[in-house]
Amino acid sequence: MNLDSTNFTTLQVVEEQDRVRVRLHRPEVRNAIDQTMVDELHAVCAHLERFPKILILSGTPGREPDEQNPKGAKGVFASGADIAQLRERRRDDALAGINSGIFDRIAKLPMPVIAALDGFALGGGAELAYAADFRIGTEALRMGNPETGLGIMAAAGATWRLKELVGEPMAKQILLAGKVLTGAECLAVGLVSELHAPAELDAAAEALADRIAAQDPLAVRITKSVFHTPREAHPVIDTLAQGMLFESPAKFDRMQAFLDRKKK
């Protein structure tokens, strides 16, 4: 069963056998995350929970210079939550966890999530990226959480995910002092694992997805689940998960193929 791309207005969705590409598509507002986008991301998650596949998240791609745009145009992942909507939200909206709910759902998808980041990834856009398993970017990437400058806090995962990703000192620079990291700074602190030219970013995301897809899907799913299990559950959960995989047909097929290659 495939996702029907005609059902989406804020996302561009393409599904293949082993992956789903989702491009945030509200270019007129720099892909600000509004309620419609949240609802559509929930629809994508519902599909991927039922039919597990790799998810590639990206934003509006940059354009090379031409006669009409001599300086070209920078890409953008997501400039943040839609401020017009955010301005009107009240306590009950915050307690509903509108953005934190969808980002947590994305983080818990069965198969890995890749975020391909160019241009702005700010506020809610950064928190969406933090929820991914892999983040790759460009030198034009600008990532941070300016929420305290707007009188609120980054409440959709940044206060705990960011500390796990880059450590407490840098997390406090971003969350409390409004520091926005460049692509090079993101690479230096491990917030992204690779930097690519804007024109090569999509291909790099596909290459990473190819490497994941070359692994046994069940082993990847179980490893991701065990990886995020609380420390106190180990090593028991590791042993139980390995017991499941030891009985899988893919284990026997892949190990036999390995042994056969060694004989040649």
pLDDT value, residue 249: 95
Q: pLDDT tens, 39-62?
A: 999 999 999 999 999 999 999 986
- Give how far Cα 212 sits from Cα of 45, 133, 196, 205, Å: 19, 12, 19, 11
Cα separation, 6 vs 29, in Å, equals 21
Q: Which domains does the chain have, with CATH numbers?
A: 5-213 (3.90.226.10), 217-263 (no CATH)
- For residue 256, what are the contacts with CB-CB under 8 A and spacing of at least 6? none
Indicate whether 162 pLDDT > 50: yes
Q: pLDDT tens, 97-147?
A: 889 999 999 999 999 999 999 999 999 999 999 999 999 999 999 999 999
Q: pLDDT tens, 176-234?
A: 999 999 999 999 999 999 999 999 999 999 999 999 999 999 999 999 999 999 999 99
pLDDT value, residue 64: 55
According to the 3-state scheme, what is the secondary structure of the chain?
CCCCHHHCCCEEEEECCCEEEEEECCHHHCCCECHHHHHHHHHHHHHHHHCCCEEEEECECCECCCCCCCCCECCECECCECHHHHHHCCHHHHHCCHHHHHHHHHHCCCCCEEEEECCEEECHHHHHHHCCCEEEECCCCEEECCHHHHCCCCCCCHHHHHHHHHCHHHHHHHHHCCCEEEHHHHHHCCCCCEECCHHHHHHHHHHHHHHHHCCCHHHHHHHHHHHCCCHHHCCHHHHHHHHHHHCCHHHHHHHHHHHHHHHC
Q: How confident is the model at residue 80 (pLDDT cuts 50, 70, 90)?
A: confident
Cα separation, 141 vs 189, in Å, equals 14
